[in-house]
Amino acid sequence: MSRSLEETLEPQTVLELRGVSKRFGGITACKDITFTLPRGRIMGLIGPNGAGKTTAFNLITGVYGVTEGAIVLDGVSIAGMRPDRIVRLGVARTFQNIRLFRNLSVLENVVTALDCHETYSLGASFLRLPGVRRRELGLREEAMAFLAAVGLEDKAATRADAMPYGLQRKLEIARALALKPRLLLLDEPAAGMNPEESLDLARLIRRIHDEFKLTTLLIEHHMDVVMALCERIYVMNFGEKLAEGTAEAIQRDPDVLKAYLGEGFKRAQHI
Amino acid sequence: MWQYISGVISLGLIYVIATVGLAVFTGFTGLFSLGHAAFFAIGAYTAAILSYFYGVNFYVALAAGAAAGGLVGFLIGYPTLKAKLRTDYFAIATLGFGEAIRVLLENLPITQGARGLPGIRVDTTLPVLLVCATLVIAFAWNLIHSRHGRAAIAIREDFVAAEMMGVDIFVGRLRSLVFSAACAGLAGGLFAHYFGFIQPSMFTSYMSTQMTAAVVAGGMGSISGPVIATLIFIGIPEALRVANIWRLVAYGLLLVLIMVFRPQGLMGYRELNLDMIKGWFRRAEKGGKA
Amino acid sequence: MFFQTLVTGLAIGGIYALMAVGYSLVFSILNFSNFAYGSIIMLGSYIAYFSMVKLGMPIGVAIIFSILGAAALCYLNERLAYSPLRKRRASSLFFMISAMGTAIFLENLVYAVVGAHFYAFPEVFTKSNITFHGVSIGVLDVFAIVFSSITIYGLHTFLQKSRTGIAIRAASYDIQVTSLNGVNDTALIGLVFMLAGGLAGVSGTFLGMKYIVYPTMGWITNKAYIAAVIGGLGSLPGAVVGGILLGVLETFVSAYVSSVVRDVFSFSLLVLLLMVMPTGLFGRFLEEKV
């Protein structure tokens, strides 16, 4: 596959974790986590519950500070930065338990995300200068475009918590996209979905990943989704690395099968 | 008769200005300021001292009062918001600051202590109040419907998610607090030049309570709701000649009842708008016909 | 002077400790600051006062009436103002508003019905002193220290040894898990409020005896919040230690610096602690799970 000039000049690694550890008092949630995520790839982060996957997300997004180790985003060290700064540097995440702005409409949820890169001043807001009015209309149009990307455009005026669960998950994703990230972290996006919905979601993730030129890190328990999307997988157990490799290799790895997938695991198709 | 009515409206408008500020803070960031009367008092004293002792022009004094309120709001807000206090402890801290300011006002020589400041020029008229109230409501509305307002709302809805949307929680909250403190300061200056006399005992928790009750009853997340609630709170008891004490009993009970039965208050998370009013007429018509 | 101040400090500390434990009991289980607690303390004081003055009861019976009355009121408060919110899983903001509403309602109801008079308790031992190594100590202070110690010890034994007590301690760590283990959380919460109410009755009575009885004396619960932060939010032993420490420190500030500064000192301590050492002495790390 040929590369464009821009792609050759950009750094190839979007995210790098080096020896990252997190301790809460006596509990070690993450120990010595090291991996790199190349540009444009989708990587899976899997493991049993309590393995430290969401903690890893929280460390990357700055919700927790690292006890040890380095986290580098496109060459910039982000460990210890405030979460909102990290977001503005281009990291977006979704939450395991959906965290939408429940009393706001679907559209308002996305517009709030778009505000992240908006810059008009406080004074201009107070006076509602013509520039502000134009920007506000522009934001709404852009937000509708993001809703259309996930198929929610006809629900724009609905209250966020009035939507069915599957659509709320889609809204979470639309909101994350509206942050215009270079790195997208998805925390169990298929949670609570049946196999048909999961595969639909997997196709959506693939589509937006390609369309918006993202680099994606995915936590998921639905193996069909993981195997369908991820070229590489990092397996965690008890806060440490259990295995790392291609989807095929992981599906065959005896340690992974024993600890997590189960001996009778059927290999899944890649899409 | 008109004198009396205009007096009630004037008082109502003064409180509307302060309450709209509080609505922006509490209603949109979800934090409580229990000592908000302190900002009101600061604005009142600043404006009064400037116009009485230094003969400063009325409008300049008002602006100074608003600025003073905003400044003190900044000074109080900076450490308390930086510490990321939980809602209840933030409220307690504001209570403490309110108390400290009251002690200050009662003990500084320039404020003449508990005796108060009499003889202030009565410059606040109904037209002045109407203009000020309209401006403040317009600014608040503009703020809410801008990216800064959305940030505040996001903080109220879910501050963890708000941070994940790139919102700087500290700055967002501080901005709202300073705006609301400045509004209270402006209202205070207008108040001082309306009654012509101020003393520390006028700025009590009664005032803070009424403002908070109006925000809750009007509906957090709305501007028009608290405005309506304030006018009702000032207007109806006056009309019924209810004593202050029983008003407070009613406010307290009202707060609990609203929380139990209708937490979204009068307006919920919406604003009064044309569609809503049309809807009422349509329903009234249908009701009449049935 | 030093020894006298210390004894007074310990007496006040004991009262603060009782209030802080009552507050912490509810806080550690429901994770919210019951702003209405102060008014329950105030009502406990009034009940004791009127039992002695109107019904002619001796001090011992008055305290019992106060305990029972305050426990019942605290329980009712929970049932009527908080329980419906809990069922709806309302956010903590709404609990706070409901609590504030209850406080405002009760305080002003007393103002309106009983009046704003300050009541002084009959001379039980308010004026008597004993001399110890040439130093004069108030008998009331000694009585307060002894009574508080007995009450706290009794509560401690109850929490450590009885089945219900252990259930309460379990609930203070995680009420959901506790209810999953078969404990009736509604009944437990009701019981905890009754206990807190009982503590309010005792502390209210002593506050009334030491100082004076008036409708807004409930604001003193701010000291309970401060004590709980010093000792560490979520820790009951911490509340006791915090209460005693605060009482002693405050009394020394009042005696050696000035009594006006006393409250500003306590609030400043609160804000400082919350910024620098929010977990206090024994506190648990209460953070939101992302």
pLDDT in the model for residue C289:
44
Which residues on adjacent β-strands are paired with residue B112? none
Q: Is B91 on the interface with C (CB under 8 A)?
A: yes
Backbone angles phi, psi at A74, to 5 degrees: 50, 45
pLDDT tens for each residue of chain A, 271 residues long: 455 555 555 568 889 999 999 998 788 889 999 999 999 999 999 998 888 899 999 999 999 889 999 999 988 999 889 999 999 999 999 998 889 998 889 999 999 999 998 888 888 888 888 888 999 999 999 999 999 999 898 988 888 989 998 899 999 999 999 999 999 999 999 988 888 889 989 999 999 999 999 999 999 988 889 988 998 999 999 989 988 999 888 888 888 888 887 766 666 555 5
Q: How many residue pairs bridge chain A and chain C with CB atoms within 8 Å of each other?
A: 5
Q: How many residue pairs bridge chain A and chain B with CB atoms within 8 Å of each other?
A: 85
Average of pLDDT values for B3-8? 84
CA distance A186 to A208: 13
pLDDT in the model for residue A265:
63
CA distance B202 to B43: 13
Q: Range with the lowest mean pLDDT among A107-116, B196-205, C168-177?
A: C168-177
Average of pLDDT values for C180-193? 83
Q: Is B270 on the interface with A (CB under 8 A)?
A: no
CA distance C59 to C51: 9
CA distance A210 to A21: 32
Contacts of residue A167, defined as CB under 8 A and 6 or more positions apart, other chains included, come to A152, A155
pLDDT digits (tens, 9 = 90+) for C257-270: 877 778 778 888 88
Q: Where would I find the H helices in B86-223?
A: 87-107, 126-144, 147-157, 159-164, 169-195, 205-218
State how far residue C271 is from chain B, nearest Cα, in angstroms.
6
> Are C85 and B259 in contact (CB < 8 Å)?
yes
**Mutate which of C271, C272, C277, C289 to disrupt the B interface (most B C-beta within 10 Å)?**
C271
pLDDT in the model for residue C120:
83
pLDDT in the model for residue B276:
67
pLDDT in the model for residue C199:
93
pLDDT in the model for residue B290:
46
CB-CB: which of B150, B163, B221 is closest to A115? B150
B196 HSE (CA, 13 A, CB side): 5
pLDDT band at C284 (very low <50, low <70, confident <90, very high): low
Is residue A15 within 8 A of residue A73, CB to CB? The reply is yes
State how far residue C290 is from chain A, nearest Cα, in angstroms.
8
State how far residue B125 is from chain A, nearest Cα, in angstroms.
25
CB-CB: which of C80, C222, C290 is closest to B95? C222
> Are B157 and A101 in contact (CB < 8 Å)?
yes
Asked if CATH classification 3.40.50.300 holds for the domain at A11-90+181-271, the reply, yes or no, is: yes
Average of pLDDT values for C222-249? 87
> Are C112 and B245 in contact (CB < 8 Å)?
yes
Q: Flag whether pLDDT at C200 surpasses 60.
A: yes
Boundaries of every domain in chain A: 11-90+181-271, 101-178
pLDDT band at C183 (very low <50, low <70, confident <90, very high): confident
> Are A112 and B165 in contact (CB < 8 Å)?
yes
Q: Flag whether pLDDT at C149 surpasses 70.
A: yes
The string of DSSP codes covering C217-247 is GGGGHHHHHHHHHHH-TT-HHHHHHHHHHHH
Interface of A with B (CB under 8 A): 61, 63, 82-84, 87-88, 92-93, 95, 99-104, 108, 111-113, 115-118, 120, 122, 124-128, 132, 136, 175, 179
pLDDT in the model for residue A4:
55
pLDDT in the model for residue A203:
93
User: What does the mean pLDDT of chain B come to?
Assistant: 85
Q: Flag whether pLDDT at B114 surpasses 90.
A: no
> Are B149 and A87 in contact (CB < 8 Å)?
no
pLDDT in the model for residue B272:
63
> Are B161 and A95 in contact (CB < 8 Å)?
yes
CATH topology of domain B2-289: ABC transporter involved in vitamin B12 uptake, BtuC (1.10.3470)
> Are C100 and B255 in contact (CB < 8 Å)?
yes
> Are A100 and B161 in contact (CB < 8 Å)?
yes
Share above pLDDT 90 across residues of chain B, in percent, rounded to a whole number: 31
pLDDT band at B80 (very low <50, low <70, confident <90, very high): confident
Is residue B265 within 8 A of residue B216, CB to CB? The reply is yes
Q: How many residue pairs bridge chain B and chain C with CB atoms within 8 Å of each other?
A: 123
pLDDT digits (tens, 9 = 90+) for B250-287: 888 988 999 899 888 877 766 666 666 676 677 777 65
User: What does the mean pLDDT of chain C come to?
Assistant: 84
Backbone angles phi, psi at A62, to 5 degrees: 85, 5
> Are B165 and A127 in contact (CB < 8 Å)?
no
The set of chains that have 3 or more CB pairs under 8 A with A is B, C
pLDDT band at B181 (very low <50, low <70, confident <90, very high): very high
> Are A63 and C285 in contact (CB < 8 Å)?
no
Is residue A160 within 8 A of residue A171, CB to CB? The reply is yes
pLDDT in the model for residue C96:
84
Average of pLDDT values for B55-82? 91
